[in-house]
């Protein structure tokens, strides 16, 4: 943390040094030209700005322009995000909108402004132009953010039944936030540029644009520079304010309510365990046939190990059982309920803590129950750190706990102990065995010893030429 803070302070110092450098260059250039009517120094511009700030007209003009620009900007951001969501859900909408976005990006601001002046009073010009210029920036960024969502996390949410607003809030938003923030903040500066330009062209009464136009006409160069500095500062302040607001929204969205309570007794959280039956199941990926006429039935409450080399069909069998894929032929009956799942990948939300990743799929768990589980697998004291800060082994244990604490009659575990060695593996396996009591378990492993640790009585061996059941 200290190293991160030191790095941030260093970046700020470098940025400030660069600003000072260019101010010095500006001062030297102004002294060399020595023609204040054409080019003023930063000191002269700053002095004129301070003088203007003493008058009420300055603040009235700046306030009117700010209100109009930010109204157009805010409306555009909201509309662009909503349209991007529609485009993400409906490919036809995406195709229809694409030419429109290209046109808006390509047409010069001045062309839009002149056309708008024919239809609208100049006082609304700034709002409209800010809206139009911001829209394609935010729409494109939002659409890219929607497209960036992980298919693996989507499958995790499907497997655990996380849907609706909860899925949007805790699964989708953390993945999309970076892209959305970047496009929305970049658009803020562009809103100021285009909005003030529209005021200059439209000569909007009582606006910053009118003041800039007057400074140009009457060769009041100090005023021109002073108002330009005011616009740049306001653009930066508005962008900073937008970042703060977005950060507050994100933090509020990712907040989960605490649930007080003591730990429950160790054991299954599951409803009635289902029978899982595969009848004549075949599955191919392109030219590669993975399963062919596979038959197997796992009795309610049984534990079955699926053993064999990689790439031979074990994970496919779990995905079929979980309903994440459909067989090419045959039927899979999993009882119709949700199943706890441990994937080959951890599939955790990096921005959330281990505790919140667990509570994401099991919102009724109390803090006491989660604390007891974290202690059981050696994660005590780590439950409230963002998953992104945890080691690989810690992430794996968090993913295991997410499945073990999920209320389900079945559990599908795909190499759950990967990355765990020695006593730690035995400790986690012992806890898992208790938590899986009474559930129907399908367990993929390369290690027969792991199957014994988990108490798997049935075994299905996958070999290159056949599948055998014991």
Final residue of a domain: which of 205, 220, 254? 254
Is residue 451 assigned to a domain? yes
366 and 231 within one domain: no
304 and 214 within one domain: no
120 contacts 134 by C-beta, under 8 angstroms? no
228 and 303 within one domain: no
CA distance 246 to 81: 14
307 and 168 within one domain: no
Final residue of a domain: which of 198, 222, 254? 254
Per-residue pLDDT of the chain (470 residues; tens, 9 = 90+): 455 556 677 888 888 889 889 888 888 887 887 777 778 888 888 999 999 999 999 999 999 999 999 999 999 999 999 999 999 999 999 999 999 888 888 888 778 778 877 777 878 889 999 999 999 999 999 999 999 999 999 999 999 999 999 999 999 999 999 999 999 999 999 999 999 999 998 888 899 999 999 988 888 899 999 999 999 999 999 999 999 999 999 999 988 877 765 555 444 445 789 999 999 999 998 888 888 888 889 999 999 988 887 777 889 999 999 999 999 999 999 888 788 999 999 999 999 999 999 999 999 999 999 999 999 999 998 999 999 999 999 999 999 999 999 999 999 999 999 888 889 999 999 999 999 999 999 999 887 788 888 888 888 887 666 666 65
Question: Residue 104, Cβ neighbours under 10 Å: how many?
Answer: 16
Is residue 156 assigned to a domain? yes
283 and 235 within one domain: no
349 and 231 within one domain: no
290 and 240 within one domain: no
309 and 250 within one domain: no
378 and 458 within one domain: yes
Q: What is the CATH number of the domain that holds 65?
A: 1.10.3720.10
Instruction: Provide the number of structural domains found in the chain.
Output: 2
Is residue 27 assigned to a domain? no
419 and 389 within one domain: yes
Question: How much is the pTM?
Answer: 0.83
Is residue 225 assigned to a domain? yes
Give the residue numbers spanning the domain of 160: 39-254
Final residue of a domain: which of 221, 254, 287? 254
220 and 318 within one domain: no
281 and 240 within one domain: no
Is residue 16 assigned to a domain? no
Our measurement of the distance from residue 252's CA atom to the centroid of its chain's CA atoms, rounded to an integer in Å, reads 14
Is residue 53 assigned to a domain? yes
Q: What is the CATH number of the domain that holds 328?
A: 3.40.50.300
């Amino acid at each position: 943390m200290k190293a991160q803070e030191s790095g941030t302070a260093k970046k700020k110092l470098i940025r400030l040094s660069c600003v000072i450098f260019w101010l010095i260059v500006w001062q030297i250039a102004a002294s060399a030209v020595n023609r204040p009517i054409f080019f003023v120094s930063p000191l002269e511009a700053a002095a004129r700005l301070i003088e203007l700030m003493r008058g009420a007209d300055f603040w009235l003009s700046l306030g009117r322009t700010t209100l109009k620009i930010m109204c157009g900007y805010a409306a555009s951001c909201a509309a662009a995000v909503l349209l991007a969501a529609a485009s993400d859900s409906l490919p036809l909408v995406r195709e229809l909108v694409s030419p429109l976005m290209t046109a808006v990006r390509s047409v010069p601001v001045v062309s839009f402004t002149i056309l708008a002046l024919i239809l609208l009073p100049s006082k609304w010009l700034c709002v409209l132009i800010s809206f139009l210029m911001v829209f394609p920036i935010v729409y494109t960024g939002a659409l890219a953010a929607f497209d960036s969502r992980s298919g693996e996390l989507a499958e995790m949410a499907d497997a655990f039944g996380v849907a609706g607003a909860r899925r949007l809030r805790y699964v989708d938003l953390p993945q999309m936030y970076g892209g959305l923030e970047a496009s929305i903040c970049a658009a803020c500066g562009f809103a100021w540029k285009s909005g003030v330009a529209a005021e200059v062209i439209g000569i909007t009464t009582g606006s910053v644009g009118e003041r800039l136009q007057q400074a140009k006409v009457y060769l009041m160069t100090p005023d021109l520079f002073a108002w330009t500095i005011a616009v740049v500062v306001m653009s930066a302040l508005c962008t900073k304010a937008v970042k703060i607001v977005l950060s507050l929204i994100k933090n509020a969205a990712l907040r989960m309510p605490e649930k007080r309570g003591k730990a429950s007794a160790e054991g299954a959280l599951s409803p009635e365990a289902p029978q899982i039956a595969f009848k004549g199941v075949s599955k191919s990926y392109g030219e590669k046939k993975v399963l062919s006429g596979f038959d197997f039935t796992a009795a309610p409450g049984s534990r079955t190990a699926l053993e064999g080399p990689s790439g031979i069909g074990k994970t496919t069998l779990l995905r079929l059982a979980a309903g994440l894929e459909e067989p090419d032929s045959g039927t899979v009956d999993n009882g119709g309920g949700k199943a706890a799942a441990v994937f080959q990948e951890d599939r955790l939300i990096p921005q959330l803590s281990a505790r919140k990743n667990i509570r994401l799929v099991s919102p009724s768990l109390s803090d006491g129950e989660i604390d007891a589980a974290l202690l059981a697998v050696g994660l005590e004291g780590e439950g409230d750190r963002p998953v992104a800060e945890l080691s690989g082994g810690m992430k794996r244990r968090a993913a295991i706990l997410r499945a073990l604490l999920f209320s389900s009659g079945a559990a599908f575990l795909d190499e759950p102990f990967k990355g765990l060695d020695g006593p730690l593996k035995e400790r986690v396996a012992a806890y898992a065995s208790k938590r899986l009591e009474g559930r129907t378990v399908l367990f993929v492993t390369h290690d027969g010893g792991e199957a014994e640790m988990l108490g798997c009585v049935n075994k299905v061996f996958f070999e290159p030429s056949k599948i055998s059941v014991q």
